[in-house]
Amino acid sequence: MVADLGDGAALLYIDRIFLHERTGSVSLQELKAKNRPVRHKEHVFVTMDHIVDTFPGRGDKTLMPSGTDFITSTRATATEAGLNLFDVTDERQGIVHVVSAEQGITLPGFTQVCPDSHTCTLGALGALAWGIGSSEGEHALATKTLAVTKPKSMRVGFTGTLGYGVTSKDMILHLIGKYGAAGGSGYAITFTGPAIAALPQENRFTICNMAVEFGAFAGVIPPDETTFDYVKGRPYAPQGAAFDAAVASWRLLNDDADAVYDREIVVDCSDIVPTITWGTSPGQTSRIDGVVPNPSDAKDANTRGSMDKALEYMDVTPGQKLEGLAIDAAFIGSCTNSRLSDLRAVAAVVKGRHVSPNLKKAVIVPGSTQVKRAAEREGLHEIFKAAGFEWRESGCSMCFNAGGESMGEKWRVVSSTNRNFENRQGPKTRTHLASPTTVAASALAGAIADVRKLG
């Protein structure tokens, strides 16, 4: 903390700033126009993920007519300001929150911001990481600080163990479904408990990624040996004796069992099954073997009205079974679920099988160029292609219409992404959020499917 601003607010020092080509160049252009230099440009990183397309052999051109402007403008402003740029053809390129962890740019105890709401993903490394707007981005770049009003604190404890076919994606969808998309509003959340401790590092990112879909300011998993093992040896992490000294300091960051939180939630993982969304908010979830809920059970008129609108948009009816609902497309990718472990899990489901002939599109987009290469070294891409999936370059892709590419009008899509908002994946596209393995099983069936039944 640089200064106490009173009234619960503080000026916080920001250790790392990440930018991408959709929102980054606006901030950099504004700073330049105001003649304000970037403070500690060596702490600022820029990647291309939000506008660049993911077709094999891509360059600066996109389907979106003005897309190239975002890429070239970001390249020019970032280069002129002397920032660390992971350009379209750079081997470190990828989705901002995937590469920030992969390169060791985010470290435990860090503060990190990016003009992107899923920056909270990096809380899984024990960092305080949160999304900001472009104006706050300018502030962070020019001053290396941000004024923050201290949020309330919440601890979400996950107890028990995960059942067969249940993933960290199902954990977070279950939580948001149970407490609502505003359930974490106003809170910084600490995710803890034995089920979190048991998760490999890559699966932890999925939990923190969707903290913002729970309405939270940030989501943090206290760092432990799993975290330190993950960070060790990464390019921007301290090395050798410096790493050991850092770990000694990071051990002190671990969750104090006696800490007092403004709110505590405990979730028993034995209650969690594969979970999928039925509506247009990440809080509108159902068990994979469940049915679409009835708006007449809603707690108030506004919620009922929103459910009615979601039912109409999604073309589903109360009481309808989700399992077996025919789909048009499947998408695996995004900062939520696109890491090597996700791709390995998908490969295990689809190996030797083929996606349904009824699908109009089945796409797998690796989270980074590094993930892509690692997957190819293991031959995963051959499994995906043989199963009928497109295998792409890294980027945000059809999580929204990055590169101007969309799903078709009114298509029903099962997606490993984080937002089922209206029109996000395409015009009137009906998105069902689920784990990568649920998406894989559904792609094979051509309908929403329970991965546990696949055997």
**Segment near another protein (CB under 8 A); pick from 130-138, 375-383, 384-392, 447-455:** 130-138
> Which tokens is 185 given?
């509003």
Classify residue 379 as exposed, middle or buried by CB count within 10 Å of its CB (0-12, 13-18, 19+).
exposed
CB atoms under 10 Å from CB of 44, counted, come to 24
Decide: helix, strand or coil at residue 160.
coil
Question: By CB under 8 A, what part of segment 342-371 binds another protein?
Answer: none
278 close to 270: Cβ distance less than 8 angstroms:
no
Position among 59, 82, 133, 200 found at the interface with another protein (CB under 8 A): 133
Question: By CB under 8 A, what part of segment 214-233 binds another protein?
Answer: 215-217
Q: How far is the CB of 296 from another protein (least distance, A)?
A: 16
Is 13 one of the binding residues for another protein (CB under 8 A)? yes
Distance of CA 372 to the CA centre of its chain: 17
Question: By CB under 8 A, what part of segment 387-406 binds another protein?
Answer: 400-401
Q: How far is the CB of 169 from another protein (least distance, A)?
A: 18
**Segment near another protein (CB under 8 A); pick from 52-60, 124-132, 222-230, 329-337:** 124-132
**Segment near another protein (CB under 8 A); pick from 295-303, 364-372, 381-389, 409-417:** 295-303
Residue 447 is given by DSSP the state: B
Is 155 one of the binding residues for another protein (CB under 8 A)? no
Q: Please state, in angstroms and rounded to a whole number, the distance separating the CA atoms of residues 103 and 252.
A: 23
Q: At what angle do helices 24-33 and 134-143 cross, to 10 degrees?
A: 60
Distance of CA 74 to the CA centre of its chain: 22
Q: How far is the CB of 409 from another protein (least distance, A)?
A: 11
Is 303 one of the binding residues for another protein (CB under 8 A)? yes
Q: How many residues bind another protein (CB under 8 A)?
A: 80
**Segment near another protein (CB under 8 A); pick from 21-29, 197-205, 287-295, 409-417:** 21-29
Is 205 one of the binding residues for another protein (CB under 8 A)? no
What b/e sequence results for 275-305 when a residue is b if at least 16 CB atoms lie within 10 Å of its CB, and e otherwise? bbbbbbbbbbbbbbeebbbebeeeeeeeeee
Q: Specify the residue, 356 or 423, whose C-beta has the smaller distance to another protein.
A: 423
**Segment near another protein (CB under 8 A); pick from 4-12, 159-167, 318-326, 368-376:** 4-12
Establish how many alpha carbons lie within 13 A of residue 361's alpha carbon, considering only the half-sphere containing its beta carbon.
21
Is 89 one of the binding residues for another protein (CB under 8 A)? no
Is 100 one of the binding residues for another protein (CB under 8 A)? no
Is 11 one of the binding residues for another protein (CB under 8 A)? yes
Q: Specify the residue, 73 or 226, whose C-beta has the smaller distance to another protein.
A: 73
Q: Specify the residue, 86 or 400, whose C-beta has the smaller distance to another protein.
A: 400
**Residue 205 belongs to what H/E stretch?**
helix 201-209
Q: How far is the CB of 84 from another protein (least distance, A)?
A: 10
Task: Write the binding mask 306 to 345 for another protein: x where contact by CB under 8 A, - elsewhere.
Answer: x--x------------------------------------
Q: Please state, in angstroms and rounded to a whole number, the distance separating the CA atoms of residues 148 and 4.
A: 10
Question: By CB under 8 A, what part of segment 272-291 binds another protein?
Answer: 281, 283
* Of residues 231, 169, 159, the one with CA closest to residue 205: 169
Whole-Å CA distances, 137 to 96, 113, 344: 15, 8, 35
